[in-house]
Amino acid sequence: MALHEDELFARLDGFRSGDLDTKGGRTWAYVYDPGRADIDRIAKRALVEFHDTNALDPTVFPSLLHLENEVVGLARDHLRGDDAVVGSFTTGGTESIMLAVKAARDRARELRPEVTRPTMVLPVTAHAAFHKAAHYFDVEAVSVPVDTTTWKADVDAMADAVDDRTILLVGSAVSYAHGVVDPIPELGRLALERDVLLHVDGCIGGFVLPHFRRLGREVTDFDFSVPGVTSISMDFHKYAYCPKGASVVLYRDASLRRHQLYAKAAWTGYTVINTTIQSTKSGGALAATWAVLNYVGDEGYLEIAQRTLDAVDAIRSGIESVPDLEVMGSPESNLIALSSDSVNVFDVVDEMRTHRWYVQPQLGFAGSRENIHLSVGGASLALVPELLEDLRAACDAARARPTPPADDEIVALLHSLDPATLGPDEFDLLLAGAGIGGDGAGPEVPERTAGINAILNVCPPELAERVLVEFFNRIFVPPT
């Protein structure tokens, strides 16, 4: 039966009752709050006004072609590209990265046909999206350890990993986990020396870093001013505070971007020519991005960036009053990782939930121990004193009620399992052992996640990946 509008929106509202807060600054990952309600109003209006357009064919929606060229032009100028730089508006960082990898692969297919099994060389700190791209496009990802003090790419180690199969190098500006800029100028030199492409992942840092530089912070060059950089991804739906579904991938010139595009005439329907992975797509996010960028403007973004930096500084100095936690490395942007020698950080994350905060657990990997991630933004500053106070209380509570670490027997068992040979029953058992489901009622995430995180933290990554796939394969089922 059709629902009345009031009933329908009441239900939609109800569905959100368990969601994280997207506004107010208490959520320190996943959502980006500028601390200004007017920006949201502008974004929503443009999003709605363009929601029914279709960017599948910009020749019949010339408004979208115009908007995309303006938005890409703004990104190009922001990242110091010259007039040869081109790009595409995409749905997010992952899509931008995937397209850059596909372009590199297809370019190599044309120019280096002898490379039948291409590789890309990337630091272990590079975003998982590169591994996803490697998986989808059949490019081998060669992960290289980083300096475990600075958490930056080790250029010599990356140079050692380059061989005649390498088509692409990757660096981050900034890396998600530790918020640092890789040595992009040195990576650019390596790329030129070895005649390979270099993608800079500026998905989360690309928009804010130029503002931070103008506000007096030291920022390593990472953009098109660096010789050897051939493509850059930068998300608008992060620190440009645009609605989700907004990113850009830029190329040094159109001859490289050509390999990103896809056309198909050999079928019975309309001729397909796509710049990005999606074909039909709403112009809403693009219009909202154009609107927000032009509404906030340079001065507005600088002001938000200043508040963000003030919040970062306040957290970094204030964390000294939380003796259980320390900042990992020396963050160069607005992302902070907090580790601990004395408490289980996963317990701290759970305790913070009871104080209505969301701080993000990050598992240990490749020398980077488990930690708590904070994405700091425009709405953060006013909340810093309360955050620090609650972090202190959460650490005390975590010490008083520690989740027992996974014992040696369990660790040994997890390492003895071959994920490829496990069947559904074994996964049910593993999920139940981790405290998620297995009781016949369907899997459910418990309120406290420290136990699950403690197990994932000691699991071989391949096993953790399979368990997570099985978990999602069980939760995404239509209601009966």
Ligand X SMILES: Cc1ncc(COP(=O)(O)O)c(C=O)c1O
Residues forming contacts to ligand X in the complex (CB under 6 A) are 92-94, 97, 127, 129, 172, 176, 201, 203-204, 235, 247
Residue 245 CB, nearest approach to ligand X (Å): 9
Q: Residue 242 or 454: which CB sits closer to ligand X? A: 242
Can you name the residues that pair with 357 across neighbouring β-strands?
none
DSSP code for 199: E
Q: Residue 94 or 119: which CB sits closer to ligand X? A: 94
Residue 470 CB, nearest approach to ligand X (Å): 23
Residue 232 CB, nearest approach to ligand X (Å): 11
Quote the distance between the C-alpha of residue 339 and its chain's center: 20
Residue 93 CB, nearest approach to ligand X (Å): 2
Q: Residue 97 or 108: which CB sits closer to ligand X? A: 97
d(CA 149, CA 67): 43
Torsion angle (degrees, nearest 10) of CA 12, 13, 17, 19: 70
Q: Residue 180 or 458: which CB sits closer to ligand X? A: 180
d(CA 315, CA 194): 41
d(CA 311, CA 26): 13
DSSP code for 54: B
Q: Residue 125 or 453: which CB sits closer to ligand X? A: 125
Q: Residue 259 or 373: which CB sits closer to ligand X? A: 373
Residue 146 CB, nearest approach to ligand X (Å): 14
Can you name the residues that pair with 371 across neighbouring β-strands?
362
Give me the half-sphere count of Cα atoms (radius 13 Å) on the Cβ side of residue 243: 21
d(CA 92, CA 102): 15
**Quick check: 215 and 305 in contact, CB under 8 A?**
yes
Residue 395 CB, nearest approach to ligand X (Å): 26
Q: Residue 186 or 201: which CB sits closer to ligand X? A: 201
* Residue number of the CB atom closest to ligand X: 93
Identity at 407, one-letter amino acid code: D
Query: Please, what is the end-to-end C-alpha distance for the chain in angstroms?
Result: 17
Can you name the residues that pair with 201 across neighbouring β-strands?
172, 233
Residue 204 CB, nearest approach to ligand X (Å): 4
